[in-house]
Amino acid sequence: MMSSVPATEKKSKLLVYTIEECPVCGQKTKRAFQVGDYITKEASKCPKCGNTSRIILIYGESERVK
């Protein structure tokens, strides 16, 4: 009966990353998300083979803060 509004959950800061993949050699690179990034967008040159990489994923990873 005496339910109450929950105390603020432990705040976790989300760091957002962009994952690029080279369609030729499969090399994956992870970098911080930049405004304008979207999945399937052509991105930087592959550091391994020099072909144009493509953004395959964008996700947030939580980092606990005190």
Return d(Cα 39, Cα 50) in angstroms, integer: 20
Q: Is 4 in the site for another protein (CB under 8 A)?
A: yes
Confirm if 15 and 32 have CB atoms less than 8 A apart. Answer: yes
CA dihedral 19, 24, 27, 29 (to 10 degrees): -30
Least distance from another protein to the Cβ atom of residue 37, Å: 7
- Of the residues 36, 63, 65, 66, which one makes contact with another protein according to CB under 8 A: 36
Q: Is 25 in the site for another protein (CB under 8 A)?
A: no
Residue 12 or 45 with smaller CB distance to another protein: 12
